[in-house]
Chain A
């Protein structure tokens, strides 16, 4: 085996390890996005490394990679028979379609195949960069460090579990570091290792690292001593800056909505956990009467109707399709005398003897045991998630609305300022259907300078209308502001609407065969809007910025009939939803001492952080101002010390250091007495010369005692004091 082959073998080994590390990047990306085709991506990366390794010229490797990308895209995304011609046509068509979108900046609308193309291009560039690192600098430490950080962050903050991955990364990474170190060593020795030397160096490394990895895999691992820091970090970050204005309330599900507004403090207490196929909004009840300050229900006494047995919880969909019947398992952590339910809820079941009754007005479902409202720990809701027919929605002209039937959902307080009415007409005037008007209002909040904020929320003054204040004065608030304002605007525009309370989908914490697990905390308490669409039914809308919970649309139109906006909506709703609010997994996991310590820290976190910050600031200030105080400290210490030979040598060295700081450094080639003359010339007097003569007698003359100790001490103190800047 000649030298070239050995070199190539060495580089090849490094490349294989690098590809394995890149695979660790791909794994979570593909798992979390659900993109699939991991093997194909890895093969692509492998190609990117294999070609340069074997010296394939660019005019071969480039086209091969392009062909592979075309085949990949067609294979992954194209329906129908896969022929070279059809693949290329598909690829080119997709490319042209999306190129336009890129130019106009409509990044949200680019298609999945094109995303794949972009991702492949990204991988291509990344592999090129890593090759550069390896070939020119023989350094993979940055890449390795980034991999570790990436995986650990994902493990901490996302459902991706990196238990295995971290061990693989450890083994691969250390092998890489070891090999690149060997390469650098060989480089420095200007001698390339032959095959025996190569094997002698690499095999022990391989064995050791692999053995260490294997052992660590099987060693028992203790639980973390500190409770998961993530909730603490989050709650601290969320709590920051909420001290403006009035005392902040605590977020969560409350019964009384008659006074809306005011700032909130986040609360990560878990309310319930749900297992379902998809993340969705959890509805509790609706309210119909707006009082300028908040929401009440028009009838105080609610008629209770039994649920199930031919009477579904939610009114059945009048037009559209459903996703098919499904169940959601709910496990409650807080005590609620009602149930939460997904859209399209049909029935619910709890322990033996539980009866579910629904309030006719609010739609709230209350479990009863022995004819008394009860708190359930766990229950199952059967539902069939609706997708509203777009055809039917486009036929919701205002005149199709039955007269008089929805007056309670068109209620508005008498004192509502005229400008709210005017705004409603301005937003909806051009729309001909109720659906169009509702969408227009929903979109209005996203474009006109509204800000989502829980903390810095101004409250309307006495006699001011809550909606009016939000729409025209503050433009800053959270879900209650957005949803209430949308209801009011819709009602002003003649669209029946009601205010909905519940929870948003929460955070996904894991997956199992039974479905995805969601954890819903008080932070997920939410409010949104339902509007009545004649011929369709009550349909949810989501005006709050940053939330994505509008009802699913059944795009039952011919494609060329669809407006551009509808196409956009279709693609938006096809995107996987992203949980907005963060959860806190079991904040009080630690017990005993750790729990109380954790509580102590979180309760006094502000004080602790303030003290730490002050200490740090004081330390920095002390360091920056050391010229002012350090000499005095030195003098004080010097006075206590006996001036033996060693002590004097140290004191003299200190003085040299201080003089250097002062701006009188001693040059290397200058003798002490020459330097002393210079210092004395600067300060005047002969202190430095006297001191230096005594010092010289010790250093060069081998003396043990100091001549004229008193004078020497005096001179030293004089000089040190002179250096106070």
Chain B
């Protein structure tokens, strides 16, 4: 399987610019393969932009960046039609959303109206301008960042819109050793310029189709549903994961299995991805939140408590 070697190379590329964050790089590739988007919940200055740029370069994709501010308008994101006196007609000037890989920085600092313009694009893979529907480029991959909710001047994304993101990832600060390495590399030429494309966009589209063909046995599907159901049954969770969440977990699982060079999904893939897929799709009970337990932790607890199927569904 050549493809997954190439994908591993993509991850290595990202690792060059972002030291000690292989996990995040891997998840980003998973989301890219699965046709989903990633929400990074993080403090500024830990290298998000670098990572996304490295990813874009590795796949030879168009990279756009939108810095969300409170006064940003939807048209600033999507684009605007301007009257061209020479041609005597309105001409569409595409906004920054019209790229393959889009970094949407601090998405929760802008107004809900602008947020929803982006989110609609993510969901529909198209935008509507002046009554015309414009398809977004394929692949279209958004990596959005949001400041932790506690920060002032934020408009938290509503839960219903959060599930437009396939994964929610927390990056966190690098470890001590890793940060020393970051400093060492900062003295030299920024490594981002040395990154060569590994696969073409054409290949990426192809790989995405292949990844969607990875087999998910009924045994594993049953396991995914068990996990979702347990989030609904848990007394700590006010609103559990919807069937859409279950589908998202299966899609992500396929991509991860493909990345690992397998043509079938293991419960291990599901276990690994569940916290990233589920955590932003649930609403916790207030008392649990006051106790400082976050959603990822709850999902991990549910994972350890849910029985992993070890016999084929339907077997004696």
Contact = CB atoms under 8 A, between A and B. Distances in A.
Contacts of B306: 668-669
B307 A700 contact: no
Interface string A683-716: 0000000000000111111100000000000000
Nearest to B306: A669
A280 to B, nearest CB: 73
A697 B311 contact: no
A673 interface: yes
Contacts of B264: 696-697, 700-702
A137 interface: no
Contact of B308 (A646, A649, A670, A697): A670
Given A671-B268, A674-B268, A701 B308 contact: no
B305 interface: yes
Contacts, number: 56
Interface in B68-100: none
Interface in B282-313: 303-312
Interface in A504-563: none
Tell me if B's interface is mostly helix, strand, loop or mixed. loop
B25 interface: no
Contacts of A700: 217, 219-220, 264-267
Contacts of B309: 699
A656 interface: yes
Given A672-B308, A701-B263, 9 more contacts: A649-B311, A668-B305, A668-B306, A669-B305, A673-B266, A699-B217, A699-B311, A700-B217, A701-B215
B183 interface: no
A701 B303 CA distance: 21
A668 B215 contact: no
A670 B270 CA distance: 12
Contacts of A649: 311-312, 315
A696 B268 CA distance: 11
A27 to B, nearest CB: 55
A666 interface: yes
Contact of B215 (A667, A670, A674, A702): A702
B246 interface: no
B307 A699 contact: no
Given A669-B305, A700-B264, A656 B310 contact: yes
B265 to A, nearest CB: 7
A656 B308 CA distance: 14
Interface of A: 646, 649, 653, 656, 666-674, 696-702
B266 A671 contact: yes
Interface centre among A649, A667, A670, A671 (most CB of B within 10 A): A671
B271 interface: yes
A661 to B, nearest CB: 17
A699 B215 contact: no
Interface centre among A646, A698, A702 (most CB of B within 10 A): A702
Contacts of B271: 671
Interface centre among A669, A672, A698 (most CB of B within 10 A): A669
A527 B1 CA distance: 103
Nearest to A703: B264
B310 A699 contact: yes
B307 to A, nearest CB: 4
Contacts of A666: 310
Contacts of A674: 268
16 contacts: A667-B304, A668-B305, A668-B308, A669-B305, A670-B308, A672-B267, A672-B310, A699-B219, A700-B219, A700-B220, A700-B264, A700-B266, A701-B217, A701-B262, A701-B263, A701-B264
Closest A-B pairs by Cβ, 6 of them: A701-B264, A669-B304, A668-B307, A671-B267, A671-B268, A700-B217
Interface centre among A649, A696, A700 (most CB of B within 10 A): A700
Interface string B200-219: 00000000000000010101
Contacts of B219: 699-700
A668 B264 CA distance: 22
Interface string B230-270: 00000000000000000000000000000000111111100
Contacts of B303: 669
Nearest to B300: A669
A698 B312 contact: yes
Nearest to B268: A671
A501 B311 CA distance: 80
A666 B309 CA distance: 12
Nearest to A669: B304
A667 B305 CA distance: 9
Contacts of A669: 303-308
A667 B303 CA distance: 12
A702 B267 contact: no
Nearest to A670: B308
A674 B264 CA distance: 17
B312 A699 contact: yes
Contacts of B315: 646, 649
A667 B264 CA distance: 23
Nearest to B263: A701
B217 A702 contact: yes
A653 B220 contact: no
A342 B13 CA distance: 117
A668 B227 CA distance: 13
B109 to A, nearest CB: 39
Contacts of A656: 310
Nearest to A673: B268
Contacts of B262: 701
Contacts of A646: 315
A668 B266 CA distance: 15
Contacts of B311: 649, 653, 699
Contacts of B267: 671-672, 700
A404 to B, nearest CB: 100
B302 to A, nearest CB: 9
A698 B305 CA distance: 24
B59 to A, nearest CB: 28
B215 A671 contact: no
Contacts of B268: 671, 673-674
B193 to A, nearest CB: 39
B266 A696 contact: yes
Contacts of B217: 699-702
Nearest to A667: B304
Contacts of B263: 701
A125 B153 CA distance: 79
A697 B220 CA distance: 12
A328 B230 CA distance: 87
Contacts of A670: 304, 308
Contacts of B307: 668-669
A674 B304 CA distance: 12
A239 to B, nearest CB: 52
A671 B310 CA distance: 8
A667 B268 CA distance: 14
A658 to B, nearest CB: 15
B278 to A, nearest CB: 15
Nearest to A698: B312
A447 to B, nearest CB: 71
A671 B311 CA distance: 12
A224 to B, nearest CB: 44
Nearest to B307: A668
B213 to A, nearest CB: 13
A665 to B, nearest CB: 12
B4 to A, nearest CB: 16
Contacts of B308: 668-672
B304 to A, nearest CB: 4
A696 B310 CA distance: 9
Nearest to A696: B266
A691 B80 CA distance: 60
